[in-house]
Structure 1
Amino acid sequence: MKKSILIFYFLLLYAMLEMFWWGTVMIQLQPQRMAMVMGEGAVFLFLLGVGAYFIHDSIKREDKLKEQQQNFLMSVTHELKSPLAAIKLSIETIIKRDLDKEQQAKLLRNSLKDIERLDDLVENMLLATKIESKTYSFPKEEFDFSDLVTKITDRLQVHSCGYEQNIKTNIEEGITILGDKFALSSVVTNLVENAVKYSGPCAEVAVELCQNGGKPVLTVSDKGPGIPDDEKMLIFDKFYRVGAENVRKSKGTGLGLFIVKEVLQNHDADISVKDNTPQGAIFEVTFN
């Protein structure tokens, strides 16, 4: 980017110097045309300034997008390597060691969870690509949303904190909606996974589904670091992630909330982000 900006400003400076030089020559040759030269020069400077602003902004946005794409590729690589390494280790342990059935079953269950993580990642990438290229039609059907949320929270449940479950649920039964079951399952999965990811170890995540004024409302609350006010709307942009890339510890691709926003827009649903108390964030989805 620095090279492009330097070249751009060099050409801009050259154009301005040329304009002043020609203006000076013109005034010296025909002093009576000074007002016309200055007026046209002012218009030229204004148009040049406006054009320079938009070109500069375009270069910055393109560079930012390129940086986000590079970060995305690094994040995807990391997201793929971690579960693959865990699966490989589990299988090698089963093959090389004489384990009893219970130990083997535990390793296989862990491997299955890692495979599900990989599956979620691939589904996110495919869905994001289809949404952006406008090739996804969002086929809608009436289905039990309560059952869907229950199954997803059960699958994402963390049992590594003693006897305490990481995800606390309060799901009203029998809530049905008309929508794309596959796409909405991605919405729920991304919201709950984000809440678990950004919360501290064994911190409680709350998932609630209820009817409010006849409208289904899904709420996912975490006790993580929270989201600054100036970033609450930016988090739904593609590849955007909270905080500086070089100090960020949490994993992710920056696609999850982009998919959430796009899917909910196609379901005439609203999502809001609020601060949790004493810390964390609350994502509230309302289906109209």
Structure 2
Amino acid sequence: MNKLSIKIGTLFFLIIFSLETFMFFFLHSAMVDSRVEEELSALQARGNSHRAILEKHFDANTIAHITLMESEANTDVVITNRNGKVLDSSDKVDQFYKYLKMTNSKIPREGKIVEGNWREEPIIATVSPVEQNGEVAGYIYMFQDTQSVHALIDRLNEHFLLAGLISVSLTVIIIFFLSKALTKPLIKMKDATSQISKGNFDVTLAKRGNDELGELAKSIQLLANDLNYLKKERNEFLSSISHELRTPLTYIKGYTDIVLKRNLPINEQQKYLNIILEETNRLSDLIKDLFDLAKIDKNTFIIEKEQIDLNEFLLTIERKLSPAFLENKMRLEIICPSNVFIKADPSRLEQIILNLLDNSMKYSSKGGVTAISVTKLKQSVQITIKDTGKGIPEDDIPFIFNRFYRVDKSRTRSLGGTGLGLAIVKELVDKHEAEITVKSELGKGTEFSLIFKG
């Protein structure tokens, strides 16, 4: 009983068998009762027919004629006078006395059933009153052996038993194929999830309809695809971390060995120590970015939104970064109308913009201009950061928010950076339920647009 198909088949069989048994029993009882009622009605009608004749001619000849007729039929008749004295009968009257005594004077004109218990009694019986001049002159008792009724019921039982066996057989066959059809996709899904649990995400499930099983199959397939993507991304991520950590550590170790083991002039020592400091700072930035991403992935990165006046906020950023832009002989412009507000986390919004501005400085040449402009839309506010830098190739744009992705495939370190800045920006924007888009053209610059709900 461990197989799902057996469990489903057994459950279906018990339910359908119970319903069929109830319906067969109900139908059988209804047909039997209906058939017995027909027999009693026919017996009563036969007695009423004889009564109609006797009411016209209530004499010995007519009585004898009626009893003679019934002696040749499968029914019997007993005719009595008004006091219950037997005038004539079609068979020995001794066997009928029991039912004659059950009669009282209150018998309706249409007659009544004297004995209808066909299951326990050997005879069913009816009585009809014979009236002359408005008064009861006698009674006609009709009797029928219940063996014919039992024979009829037996034949009916045989038919029902045959129909029941055929019905149960067909039910078992239908349930067998139905349970197989239902459980086959579930078994495939079970095998797929088993493969997924073992780390094999290259599973394929056949496309089904739009029912619940189809939706489940799609969900499992989507899960497998996502896990496969995450597995590849994790491997690439670990490889990238390994590379990013190894490179500064190699620099630090190499130049430290040089400073310690060689008797270098002060100016050369200072040169190597500066390189060590630069790589240490690079390593520190990488670890900080990794911690930020880890917090975001674990949903422990708290976003505390508040109302922010963008004009004041961007002017503060301008005061912080203008010296850095001037040092690189670049210009930072802020274009923001007054009374424009958004709900955001100030520190995280600052982190987003600083990361984007840092990229603008790295990838722009001397004399370049980076502009931050704010546009008030109907239901939102758009912050655009546009520079005049080298731009991003069109083929690279879909991947720039991936972790450790660099447009410079040679991974030259002259520009610095960890390859995580834009990945963090994208995660922070998503946490704000905002949107970020990018447009870029080689040699003309890049434009990032942040769209926040107003």
TM-score bin, normalised by smaller chain: 0.5 to 0.7
Deviant stretches of 4+, over 6 Å:
151-154, 251-254
Amino acid corresponding to residue 219 of structure 1 in structure 2:
K
Amino acid corresponding to residue 262 of structure 1 in structure 2:
E
Q: Distance in 1 between matches of 2:434 and 2:325?
A: 21
Q: 1:169 aligns with which of 330, 334, 337?
A: 330
* Bigger Rg, which one: 2
Over 3 Å counting, the alpha-carbon distance change for 1:68 and 1:267 in structure 2 is: closer
Match of 2:294 in 1: 129
Q: How does 1:96-135 map to 2 (within 5 A)?
A: 96-135=261-300
Match of 2:216 in 1: 51
Q: CA deviation at 1:265?
A: 5.0
Q: How does 1:193-272 map to 2 (within 5 A)?
A: 196=362, 204=365, 208-212=370-374, 217-220=384-387, 222-223=389-390, 226-228=393-395, 232=398, 235-236=400-401, 239=403, 241=405, 249-250=410-411, 255-264=420-429, 271-272=436-437
Q: CA deviation at 1:56?
A: 1.8
Match of 1:146 in 2: 318
Q: Distance in 1 between matches of 2:330 and 2:450?
A: 16
Uncovered stretches (5+) of structure 1, i.e. residues with no partner = 1-14, 20-25, 158-164
Q: Distance in 1 between matches of 2:289 and 2:252?
A: 21
Q: CA deviation at 1:63?
A: 1.2
Over 3 Å counting, the alpha-carbon distance change for 1:221 and 1:67 in structure 2 is: farther
Q: 2:240 aligns with which of 50, 58, 75?
A: 75
| Partners of 1:191 and 1:257 within 8 A in 2 | no
Amino acid corresponding to residue 113 of structure 1 in structure 2:
E
Q: Distance in 1 between matches of 2:282 and 2:352?
A: 12
Q: Distance in 1 between matches of 2:334 and 2:391?
A: 28
RMSD: 5.0
- Could you give the per-residue CA deviations for residues 200-244 of structure 1, whole angstroms, max 9, x where no partner exists? xxx848561445569864335543652438x63x6446x48489x
Q: CA deviation at 1:101?
A: 2.1
Q: 1:88 aligns with which of 253, 259, 268?
A: 253
Over 3 Å counting, the alpha-carbon distance change for 1:88 and 1:152 in structure 2 is: farther
Amino acid corresponding to residue 318 of structure 2 in structure 1:
S
Q: CA deviation at 1:97?
A: 2.0
Q: Distance in 2 between matches of 1:181 and 1:152?
A: 20
Q: CA deviation at 1:126?
A: 1.0
Amino acid corresponding to residue 272 of structure 1 in structure 2:
T
Match of 2:138 in 1: none
Over 3 Å counting, the alpha-carbon distance change for 1:61 and 1:134 in structure 2 is: closer
Q: How does 1:149-160 map to 2 (within 5 A)?
A: 149-150=321-322
Q: CA deviation at 1:92?
A: 1.3
Amino acid corresponding to residue 316 of structure 2 in structure 1:
D
So what's the TM-score if we normalise by structure 1? Answer: 0.60
Q: Secondary structure at the match of 2:370?
A: strand
Over 3 Å counting, the alpha-carbon distance change for 1:271 and 1:223 in structure 2 is: same
- Could you give the per-residue CA deviations for residues 17-71 of structure 1, whole angstroms, max 9, x where no partner exists? xx9xxxxxx9xx759x99xx89xx79x9835444333222211111110110111
Q: Distance in 1 between matches of 2:234 and 2:294?
A: 13
Q: Distance in 1 between matches of 2:325 and 2:345?
A: 19
Uncovered stretches (5+) of structure 2, i.e. residues with no partner = 10-165, 186-208, 377-381
Over 3 Å counting, the alpha-carbon distance change for 1:255 and 1:80 in structure 2 is: same
Q: Distance in 1 between matches of 2:296 and 2:236?
A: 21
So what's the TM-score if we normalise by structure 2? Answer: 0.41
Identity %: 24
Q: Distance in 1 between matches of 2:234 and 2:351?
A: 25
| Partners of 2:248 and 2:279 within 8 A in 1 | yes
| Partners of 2:252 and 2:279 within 8 A in 1 | yes
Amino acid corresponding to residue 149 of structure 1 in structure 2:
L
Match of 1:273 in 2: 438
Amino acid corresponding to residue 73 of structure 1 in structure 2:
L
Q: CA deviation at 1:127?
A: 1.1
Amino acid corresponding to residue 274 of structure 1 in structure 2:
K
